[in-house]
Amino acid sequence: MGPEPKESTDHSGTFEAPKHFAVAQQPLERMLIQFDQQVEGWNGDRSMWTDGTPIAFERKKDGQITSGQGNSPTHYAEVAAIIRDGLAPYSPDIARLGPDWVAKADTKTP
C-alpha cells in the first residue's frame, strides 16, 4: 500500500481528503483514444500563454512516454476538455469544473 492521501484545501480554507473513483473500461478507452489523437504529433506553441489554468500530463503508451505542460487554448484547453468530459460522469468534483478547470461558484460537492 502507498502512503495515506494528504488532505487538500479549497479556497475557503476547508480541508477535505481526496476522493477516489473508478472509470469503466470502455469509456476510459474512448477517452484515451481522443487524448492520444490530440497530443500525438503536437510540437508545441510559439506563444507563451500566461493566463488561464495550465495543465501538465504524462502518458505511457506502448512503452513510449508523451508529456506536456501549458495552457494554449488551441491545444491544452482541448486536452483538458477531453479529460474533464471523460471523467466528469464518475467524479462530482470533476463534474463541477468549468472549461478552464476552475470550480463553478454555484456548485457544491456532496
pLDDT digits (tens, 9 = 90+) for 1-57: 444 544 555 556 565 666 788 999 999 999 999 999 999 888 877 777 777 778 889
Instruction: Write the CA distances from 22 to 3, 40, 43, 66, 95, integer angstroms.
Output: 19, 26, 32, 23, 14
The pLDDT assigned to 89 comes to: 93
For residue 8, give the H/E element and its range: strand 8-9
3-state secondary structure of 61: strand
pLDDT, tens digit, for every residue of 54-67? 888 999 999 999 88
CB 73 within 8 A of CB 49: yes
Domain ranges of the chain: 25-40+53-96
Q: Identify whether the C-beta of residue 101 lies closer than 8 Å to the C-beta of residue 83.
A: no
